[in-house]
Amino acid sequence: MTRRKKTRSLADKVTIRTGRRKDYKQWRQENPDQVTSSRRFTQKKRQQRKIQAMRRLERQQSAPGIDIHPQRQDDTTAPTTDQPNAPKDGE
């Protein structure tokens, strides 16, 4: 006598009229409030998201800083309002 394989499939746990896959899919669409993820799945996903966030934070902190708009030390190179190509009044 052979043992039945253990399954985590939700389809086996739901009792519907025929037990056919097509009927289960239809039942699942008609009753979305009764279909929930298993505790094991939600715990696994929560743990994965925590690990992902920690790794992302580590990458951000270990990355070198980039000066996108570096501060200038001297004010002589600052742009002036007297630009040669700017349109003048009346033109």
* pLDDT on residue 42: 93
* pLDDT on residue 43: 95
Helices (H), ranges, the chain: 21-30, 39-62
pTM beyond 0.75: no
Are the CB atoms for 8 and 40 separated by under 8 Å?
yes
* pLDDT on residue 6: 67
CA dihedral in degrees (54, 60, 63, 65; nearest 10)? -160
| Tens of pLDDT, residues 38-88 | 899 999 999 999 999 999 999 999 988 888 887 777 655 555 555 556 566
